[in-house]
């Protein structure tokens, strides 16, 4: 069985979950569901990043010890995943014992291979990014502060520290990018990574002595690991590292995809492959950096008070419409704007008037005019065959698009079949055939039901509840909902009784003021 191992970033537990967290998790969920339906053995990992200065500071500000604090906030992220119906196979917390063990084993491996040495760090650090910056990367901010390219304030740090010999990995990283042109997607992001590497990298400080909230460095009681080395290792922990001979490590490593936001690409596409190569481990196949959402054209920030709460979106618009909007509105990889009008337009035109109307028209005519049973088709005309084969041909198209994380293009492809099916109903006018040619009416309704069955199969990863509702109404057995059932070879059985039709994609109606 083919395997597919994909991960979300693990989220910092310093804050409440927001649309950014929901977005990354959702994109992974859609892909994980797609791959499962397509017969892959999927391992889908998400979790929380609980160490480091930023989390320690938030715990202190809340007046509780970091462990109690992280227990509480981590649970909020688990709850969000459940609310979004994220189908993750594991949820990792970096404060778990299994993770400490993995981090320390990786550390020992790097030490043994001479990739880590003890020295002293003197330089800039941004707590918000948990990142070190070179003087040349910083700008002067108000009141003498130094500001990182991300906008985060930096502080001067001087402390004994272990270093990872990152400077020695530049050429090997550049060769790796050349040999693996699809390692970084979208391709437009490749340059920023290669130019950072080409600019000449300094060795990376990988332990801290000024803080204590972290994984202890083996045999060095004063040092805890740099939070990014700790965090990135989660991708190994979850599949059993350091037991590289265990079944799950052997089966799933290297990861097929690390999904990240564009702000954390450098950690995943530079530091992480360097750590892995240095430890003699294989490098993941891809890092995809998605864009950022703005809110009605404005940058989202806590200080502006315009943070988008995923729970609020779901309460207002429903889970599936929210999932649909986030995956459809913006080509994945680009930045996108969250606008209320755009959301409502998508719900009403694509969902209610699009797939909703097509399903409703078809199912209600079947209920009324075919005795609530799957109609019996006669011979198919070329027009019938064209629509059926268009729906079937979606499978190879979607496979290719999903393999490069083109979620919105996948939905475009599905919607072009919906558009074609709409034209087909209008042309064939089954309601008129009812008076003139019942046999032909049955054929037309059968072709539509069969098209809807295929559409329902393909919509499952994006809108699991609505798509399964549609398949229920078509009488498709739960076991017959994988992509192995796509196409005419697995078509609906004529004469099978169907449940009474129900609306699945309601219009968005403005609540009364
Ligand atoms: N803990 C690190 C990741 C470690 S992975 C080994 C981290 N955590 S985070 O909580 O800050 O990550 C949030 C994720 O949400 C990132 O992928 C980030 O890009 C994403 N987003 C944060 N704000 C966002 C938007 N406004 N829009 C879309 N995604 C955004 O980084």
- Write a three-state SS string for 395-464: HHHHHHHHCCCCHHHHHHHHHHHHHHHHHHHHHHCHHHHHHHCHHHHHHHHHHHHHHHHHHHHHHCCCCH
Which atom of ligand 1 approaches the CA of 291 most closely? 28
Which of 16, 52, 127, 261 maximizes ligand 1 atoms within 8 Å of its Cβ, making it the mutation to test the pocket? 261
- Residue with the smallest CA separation from ligand 1 atom 5 is 9
Q: Which residues contact 380 (CB under 8 A, 6 or more apart)?
A: 388, 443, 447
Task: State the distance from the centre of ligand 1 to the C-alpha of 410, rounded, in angstroms.
Answer: 24
Nearest by Cα to 7 from 84, 90, 93, 94:
90
Which of 103, 263, 293, 306 maximizes ligand 1 atoms within 8 Å of its Cβ, making it the mutation to test the pocket? 263
Query: Which pTM does this prediction carry?
Result: 0.97
pLDDT of residue 510: 86
- Residue with the smallest CA separation from ligand 1 atom 24 is 20
Which atom of ligand 1 approaches the CA of 263 most closely? 19
As a dihedral over the C-alpha atoms of residue 193, residue 196, residue 197, residue 200, rounded to 10 degrees, the angle is 180
pLDDT of residue 132: 95
pLDDT of residue 302: 84
Q: Do the Cβ atoms of 204 and 163 come closer than 8 Å? A: yes
Euclidean distance between CA atoms 474 and 370, whole angstroms:
13
User: Residue 104 — φ and ψ, nearest 5°?
Assistant: -70, -35
CA dist list (Å): 200 to 203, 409, 410: 10, 37, 39
Which of 14, 15, 24, 255 maximizes ligand 1 atoms within 8 Å of its Cβ, making it the mutation to test the pocket? 24
Which atom of ligand 1 approaches the CA of 308 most closely? 26
Structure tokens at 266: 């450098």
- Residue with the smallest CA separation from ligand 1 atom 23 is 20
pLDDT of residue 143: 84
Task: State the distance from the centre of ligand 1 to the C-alpha of 20, rounded, in angstroms.
Answer: 6
pLDDT in tens, 444-455: 999 999 999 999
Nearest by Cα to 325 from 14, 16, 30:
30
Nearest by Cα to 418 from 391, 393, 396:
391
pLDDT of residue 462: 98
DSSP 11: E
- Residue with the smallest CA separation from ligand 1 atom 19 is 261
Nearest by Cα to 177 from 163, 203, 198, 149:
198
Q: Do the Cβ atoms of 384 and 445 come closer than 8 Å? A: no
Task: State the distance from the centre of ligand 1 to the C-alpha of 110, rounded, in angstroms.
Answer: 27
Domains annotated for the chain, with CATH where assigned, are 340-490 (1.10.730.10)
CB atoms within 10 A of CB 187: 11
Euclidean distance between CA atoms 250 and 118, whole angstroms:
33
Q: Do the Cβ atoms of 250 and 223 come closer than 8 Å? A: no
DSSP 357: H
Regions of the chain with pLDDT less than 50: none
Pocket of ligand 1 (CB under 6 A): 9-12, 20-21, 23-24, 49, 231-232, 260-261, 263-264, 292-293, 300
């Amino acid at each position: 069985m083919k395997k597919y191992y994909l991960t979300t970033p693990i989220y910092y537990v310093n804050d409440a979950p927001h649309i950014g967290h929901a977005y990354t998790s959702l994109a992974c969920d859609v892909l994980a569901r797609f791959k499962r339906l397509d017969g892959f053995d999927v391992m889908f990992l998400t979790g929380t990043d609980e160490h480091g200065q930023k989390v320690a500071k938030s715990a202190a500000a809340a007046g509780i010890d970091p462990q109690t604090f992280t227990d509480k906030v981590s649970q909020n992220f688990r709850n969000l995943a459940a609310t979004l119906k994220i189908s993750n196979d594991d949820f990792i917390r970096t404060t778990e014992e299994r993770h400490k063990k993995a981090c320390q084993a990786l550390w020992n491996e790097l030490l043994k291979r001479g990739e880590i040495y003890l020295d002293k760090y003197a330089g800039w650090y941004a707590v918000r990014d948990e990142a070190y910056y070179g003087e040349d990367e910083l700008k002067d901010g108000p009141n003498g502060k130094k500001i990182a390219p991300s906008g985060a304030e930096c502080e001067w740090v001087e402390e004994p520290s272990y270093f990872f010999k990152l400077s020695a990995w530049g050429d090997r990283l550049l060769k790796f990018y050349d040999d693996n042109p699809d390692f970084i997607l979208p391709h437009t992001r490749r340059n920023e990574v290669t130019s950072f590497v080409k600019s000449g990298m300094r060795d990376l400080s990988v332990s801290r002595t000024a803080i204590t909230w972290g994984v202890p460095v083996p045999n060095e009681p004063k040092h805890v690991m740099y939070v990014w080395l700790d965090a990135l290792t989660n991708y190994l922990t979850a599949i059993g590292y350091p037991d590289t001979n265990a079944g799950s490590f052997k089966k799933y490593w290297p990861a097929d995809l690390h999904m990240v936001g564009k702000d954390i690409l450098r950690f995943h596409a530079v530091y992480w492959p360097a750590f892995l190569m240095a430890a003699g481990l294989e490098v993941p196949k891809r890092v995809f950096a998605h864009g950022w959402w703005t809110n009605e054209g404005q940058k989202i920030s806590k200080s502006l008070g315009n943070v988008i709460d995923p729970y609020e979106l779901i309460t207002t618009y429903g889970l599936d419409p929210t999932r649909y909007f986030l995956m459809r509105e913006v080509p994945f990889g680009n930045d996108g704007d969250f606008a209320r009008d755009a959301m409502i337009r998508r719900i009403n035109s694509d969902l209610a008037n699009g797939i909703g109307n097509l399903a409703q028209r078809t199912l209600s005519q079947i209920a009324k005019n075919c005795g609530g049973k799957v109609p019996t088709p006669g011979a198919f005309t070329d027009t019938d065959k064209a629509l059926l084969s268009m729906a079937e041909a979606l499978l190879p198209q979607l496979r290719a698009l999903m393999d490069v994380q083109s979620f919105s293009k996948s939905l475009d492809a599905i919607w072009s079949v919906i558009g074609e099916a709409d034209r087909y109903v209008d042309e064939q006018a089954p309601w008129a055939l009812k008076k003139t040619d019942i046999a032909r009416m049955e054929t037309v309704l059968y072709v539509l039901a069969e098209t809807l069955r295929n559409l329902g199969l393909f919509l499952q990863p994006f809108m699991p509840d609505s798509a399964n509702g549609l398949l229920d109404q078509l009488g498709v057995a739960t076991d017959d909902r994988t992509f192995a059932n796509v196409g005419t070879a697995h078509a609906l059985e004529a004469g099978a009784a169907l449940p009474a039709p129900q609306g699945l994609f309601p219009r968005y109606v403005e609540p009364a003021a």
